[in-house]
Amino acid sequence: PATFKPTQWPTEYKETTQRWGANPQNYSQFGLPGHDGLDIRAPLNSKIFAVAGGTVFYVGDRIPGTGTVSNLGWHVRINHVDGFETIYAHLANDSFLPRYGQYVSAGQRIGTSGNTGNSTGAHLHLGMKKPPGDYGWPYNLINPEPYILPLIGAPPPLPPPTGIDLADFFFPADSNLFGQIHIMKNNWGAGDERVQLQREGNFSYVTKNNNWEKRLVGSSFIDLLMDTSPSESEYYTVSGHWLPRKMTVGQNFSRTEHVTFYSKANCAVKAEYDASSTIKFINLHNTWTNNNIILNNVAEFAWIINGLEEEKYFFAKSLGLVKWTSRRGLESSIWELVPVGAQQNNKRGTWCGIS
């Protein structure tokens, strides 16, 4: 059976200008973890070629199936064997564009570099898709580099974009399943909380007494799945990405999450809605102090709704949440670090069968 294997470099210039996944700060506004393709040098009016044989299923400057103008500008989409799709973007609207339904062979000219769409200088943006896509990427997008870079003998793909790996703030140290316990005190009269990070595979639990926040730590995103701690009477589930797994200080991440609140008493849905907000990675403190406890590597985040900073979170490496404040003046913070082994691990409560 045929397998997808590009044989033709798609431009006249064997040089890349922006790698897959690069510059996450420019792409989070589009719900993307980074650059969603491979940019290749292609000066204005230079030739663009199909990387492999296939059938053209879109030629135009819209998002297919809609009237919306695409950031890709004039572009060509080709279906290949094995469910692969390639996209050639920022082309000129000229007579070198193929026709819808046309079969093109590898190396056949399919256009001209034209700097159309959201482009700050002529280049080819090469996108690639294959269901279900790379983990954490929407629209079935995959990294084209393993298929394309061998054509110019380039070194193997670089690791994902640099940034601080937030997984370190949600897993106990050294692949342990249970982290060190700390005590948090609050200013609203509720009892102390014993906070402990717990790990099950790629799932992180920030446990607070018997309540917990559960997150899936994926390769590209961290998703908050569930939180049983808003009150003793309710818990909520969330769908949608919480944060990119790797972020740089100063980076914002905006998203819309679907939130459902349940009653712990009878498991009934109490409220359900979509919530749009932004989380900003404000700072990574090399040393950070609270109640004379000195911690290293504390990440500070702000939760912003409609431009207002509603809450702040501080997460310490290998410890999890160490401080929380709200715009209305509520505050909870680390008060005591319990020596390792001096207390039993938190036991996670169960309500309505969730765990």
Burial of 346 (0-12, 13-18, 19+ CB in 10 A): buried
Residue 141: how many other CB atoms lie within 10 Å: 21
- Pairing type for strands 234-239 and 221-227 reads antiparallel
Q: Is the dihedral of CA 258, 264, 269, 273 positive or negative?
A: negative
Residue 127 CA to its chain's centroid (Å): 18
Asked if 75 interacts with Zn ion (CB under 5 A), we say no
We find the least distance from the C-beta atom of residue 51 to Zn ion, in angstroms, to be 15
C-alpha span between 178 and 342 (Å, rounded): 13
Q: Which stretch binds Zn ion (CB under 5 A): 39-47, 167-175, 196-204, 345-353?
A: 39-47
We find the least distance from the C-beta atom of residue 277 to Zn ion, in angstroms, to be 28
Q: Which is nearer to Zn ion, 142 or 298 (CB)?
A: 142
C-alpha span between 184 and 178 (Å, rounded): 17
- 337: closest CA among 298, 308, 294? 294
Q: Which of 10, 33, 34, 39 binds Zn ion (CB under 5 A)?
A: 39
SS3 for 175? helix
We find the least distance from the C-beta atom of residue 58 to Zn ion, in angstroms, to be 17
Q: Which is nearer to Zn ion, 69 or 216 (CB)?
A: 69
Q: Which is nearer to Zn ion, 19 or 317 (CB)?
A: 19
Q: By CB under 5 A, how many residues form the interface with Zn ion?
A: 3
Please list every residue from 222 through 251 that binds Zn ion, using CB under 5 A.
none
Q: Which stretch binds Zn ion (CB under 5 A): 30-38, 137-145, 196-204, 215-223?
A: 30-38
Q: Which is nearer to Zn ion, 125 or 214 (CB)?
A: 125
Contacts with Zn ion, 139-178, as mask; x by CB under 5 A: ----------------------------------------
Residue 67: how many other CB atoms lie within 10 Å: 6
C-alpha span between 90 and 88 (Å, rounded): 7
Asked if 125 interacts with Zn ion (CB under 5 A), we say yes
We find the least distance from the C-beta atom of residue 219 to Zn ion, in angstroms, to be 21
Residues at the interface with Zn ion (CB under 5 A): 37, 39, 125
